[in-house]
Amino acid sequence: MKYLEFDIKNMAISRTAGDKTALISGAVNYFGLHFNFGDEFAEIPGTKSVEFYKNRNKIRVDLVDNQCAVPNELLTDNKNFEMRVISGNTIGTTWTSVGITESGIVMPEEPEEEAPSGMEYVKTASGENAAPYLRASTNGLEYSQNGEDWNSGVSGVPEVPSRPKGSVYLRKNGDWVNAEEYLAENGGETNVINEVQVDGTALPVTDKSVNIDLSAYAKTADLASEYATKTEVAALQTLTGTAETVTDVDYSTTDISDVITSYNALLSALRARGVIA
């Protein structure tokens, strides 16, 4: 008879480590169960028995030398059954579920050695970019191709170094450096814009922004030049400048000269603003 091994400890049933025997459906008088009792359960008085439960039916079988046969009716199909071990009518273990493999299924090969409960691994590039050397550092995981030149991060992107609370870091030449230390060593050099100049005149920076009034640099009506000079800007009537008064033409006007005069005044105002040439 082929026995499945179980351990009983702290009133719970568990499969004995290393036992990989599988129950096969349809087997008759072939499989049995053997239990290894812990001291606490072994000292409980009363006959040790196994209670099986499946398809709403309960079967009780006494243990002889801590073992018994698996009832044939439990193996008529591949559905799991529940079981527990009891001492007389005093107390029993917790229930545990036992799986059944359907007859005819080929079981996969299992390794002889137990796999570790947890594994740690790292993933690196392969081929010419392989990094066979790895080490831990204050900047995180570092890798090297020759064991001398070390880089940190993934695919050449540096890890953010561990830093005291409140410290600020910035990127410089592909690496992270302490902002305060770097600025102190380099006279305050930074990529932040502190000043903007237009035609040599510095414009103030407020809250990291600069307000440029483009109306002061409007294009002229002269197509030969791109922008007006500073002296021309003062005299140039722009779209944001002072409006000129153009007299409305009354519908009752019959004198064509009055209509032409108003039309020419409108054209002059548009030319002054660079709308038309």
Same domain (yes/no): 88, 42:
yes
What average pLDDT does range 137-159 have in this prediction? 65
In-domain check, residue 183: no
Give 253's pLDDT tier (boundaries 50, 70, 90). Answer: confident
pLDDT at 118 over 60: no
Domain of residue 39, residue span: 2-101
- What's the structural domain count of the chain? 3
Residue 237 has what pLDDT?
Answer: 45
Q: Which residues contact 86 (CB under 8 A, 6 or more apart)?
A: 46, 48, 49, 50, 51, 92, 93
User: Between 254 and 160, whose confidence is greater?
Assistant: 254
Same domain (yes/no): 37, 75:
yes
Average pLDDT, the chain: 76
Residue 50 has what pLDDT?
Answer: 96
Same domain (yes/no): 39, 90:
yes
In-domain check, residue 75: yes
Of 37, 59, 41, which is closest to residue 50 (Cα–Cα)?
Answer: 59
**What pTM was computed for the model?**
0.39
Of 73, 114, 90, 94, which is closest to residue 7 (Cα–Cα)?
Answer: 94
Q: How confident is the model over 69-115, as pLDDT tens digits?
A: 999 999 999 999 999 999 988 789 999 999 998 876 555 555 555 55
Same domain (yes/no): 6, 65:
yes
Give 214's pLDDT tier (boundaries 50, 70, 90). Answer: low
In-domain check, residue 174: no
Same domain (yes/no): 84, 148:
no
Top mean-pLDDT range of 72-76, 167-171, 183-187: 72-76
**CATH code, 90:** 2.60.40
Same domain (yes/no): 6, 81:
yes
Find out whether 85 and 49 touch, Cβ atoms under 8 Å. yes
* Inter-residue long-range contacts of 105-110, CB under 8 Å, 24+ positions, other chains counted: 107/22, 110/20
Residue with tokens 């290894």: 36
Same domain (yes/no): 152, 225:
no
Residue 72 has what pLDDT?
Answer: 92
What average pLDDT does range 214-225 have in this prediction? 55
Top mean-pLDDT range of 9-13, 100-104, 265-269: 9-13
Same domain (yes/no): 68, 148:
no
58, 82, 101 - which closes a domain: 101
pLDDT at 126 over 60: no
User: Alpha-carbon distance 72 to 63, whole Å?
Assistant: 16
Residue 149 has what pLDDT?
Answer: 76
Same domain (yes/no): 79, 143:
no
Residue with tokens 């499969």: 15
